[in-house]
Structure 1
Amino acid sequence: MQIDQAENRVEGSSANPDGSRMLFKKIWSAAVPQKVRVFAWRLAKEGLATQVNRQHRRLIRFGTCEICGMEDESGFYVVVRCTKAYALRQELRKEWILPEEEQFRDGGKDWLLILLDLVGENTGARILLMFWRAWHLQNDIIHGKGTSTVIGSARFLYSYGESLHIAMKNPQTNNDAKEKVKIYKEEMVDRRNKEGSGRKVTQVQESLCVMKRDRSYLPPGDCYENAARWRRQKQKHV
């Protein structure tokens, strides 16, 4: 019943005269990093670099999963049906409250929007983090070293999710951390500028010394005085 109601809301959102998709706000306003939101938006738009999309672009002949070789590798398959994704979801259930398995179903192109419409903000954020990590697991097997594990990914998400939760509850903590990073970067820039100041000044002075007047060369020395003298001489000839 809940799923049917969510599907109706998604269909109503799709039919807006201005073409807007109100339910996409659940993605862009989610309490997750921007890179996770971008990933979720691409997942919702079926824009990830999956085998199915490569097949549609005629880059490959078949769109089947390179790991199991049985099913088409769509975005839904990678983050929900893949054995790694399923194992990650079951591992996360030990600490996180997630929707029942029946709610993780392929209801068409809007399946992600339907799923997010069924849950609250906290659960929705966890789902996006889980899908983002499931995509990483798949890519690590195919394109990476294959060293990422389900248990390690679950522990990473526990810690990552807790850090995000603390940052949301205590914005000052997050601001302090950002300020420390900013101060550190400024100190490093100042240090590099001081170390290279002598060399940079020499380069600037030498460049100012190279003034052309009938292809002549102004020798090093007091460059600014030579340059000023050259400009005055040029004005007299105008």
Structure 2
Amino acid sequence: MQPLHRWFLPIVSSAYRLGMEAKICEEDRGTTSARPYGENREWSLIWHGQAPPKVKTFAWKLARNGLATRVNMARRKMITEGTCPICGRGEEDTYHALITYPQSRDLWQCMREVWDLSSTNKIKRVGTDWLLPLLDAIDDNKSLKVVMILWRV
């Protein structure tokens, strides 16, 4: 006969996972690092797209404002200021680094000559949350291209 804990442990861990899922649903947190898909269509734009896994992970970090930009490092007290050290035109947040930085704008312009993409002027800066609304506003083909360009930048 097996000891009691050998068959009881899987039941307890399954019940714990079930309870945590119910708690997350009750609190309406939807998406976490453990549940990146959540109930949000915008997250599925990242995770169910055709991009390679490393690009999806990058896009998820970008959407969660988790990239190592100077603004994020200054907020975490790793450096003293968040100004872009290359262009000095403003704070180096994700929007600056991937959209408005001069070399980034040049890459976007070159890619618009090859792919049917809107101008980066149409990408609205809404605090740190600008990627998911952008992906939600365009079709799947364009969103794949946008995420690939962002990853390349």
Kept in 1: contact 2:94–2:128 (CA 8 A): no
The higher relative CO (CA closer than 8 Å, separation ≥ 6) is in 2
Kindly indicate whether residue 81 of structure 2 is the aligned counterpart of residue 62 of structure 1.
yes
TM normalised by structure 2 equals: 0.73
Higher-Rg member (1/2): 1
Partner of 1:75 in structure 2?
Answer: 94
Where in structure 1 are there 5+ consecutive unaligned residues?
Answer: 1-15, 135-238
- Cα distance per residue 1:116-140 (max 9 Å; x no partner): 0110111000000000111xxxxxx
SS of structure 1 residue aligned to 2:114: coil
Aligned residue among 59, 62, 71 for 1:43 = 62
Alignment map for 1:17-28 (pairs within 5 Å): 18-21=28-31, 22=40, 23-28=42-47
Partner of 2:111 in structure 1?
Answer: 92
Paired residue type of 1:65: C
Q: What is the aligned length?
A: 119
SS of structure 2 residue aligned to 1:24: helix
TM normalised by structure 1 equals: 0.48
**Identical residues among aligned pairs (%):** 35
Report the alpha carbon displacement of residue 17 of structure 1 after superposing the two structures with TM: 5.1
Given the superposition, is the C-alpha separation of residues 123 and 20 from structure 1 closer, same or farther in structure 2, using an over 3 Å criterion?
same
Q: Aligned partners of 1:34 and 1:51: how far apart in 2? A: 25
Partner of 1:111 in structure 2?
Answer: 130
Q: Aligned partners of 2:63 and 2:55: how far apart in 1? A: 12
Report the alpha carbon displacement of residue 32 of structure 1 after superposing the two structures with TM: 0.5
Alignment map for 1:158-237 (pairs within 5 Å): none
Kept in 2: contact 1:104–1:115 (CA 8 A): yes
Kept in 2: contact 1:103–1:115 (CA 8 A): no
Kept in 1: contact 2:112–2:118 (CA 8 A): no
Structure 1 stretches of at least 4 aligned residues deviating more than 3 Å after TM superposition: none
Kept in 1: contact 2:83–2:91 (CA 8 A): yes
Kept in 1: contact 2:99–2:120 (CA 8 A): no
- Cα distance per residue 1:20-65 (max 9 Å; x no partner): 2511111111111000000001111110011001101111111011
Kept in 2: contact 1:52–1:74 (CA 8 A): yes
Kept in 1: contact 2:135–2:143 (CA 8 A): yes
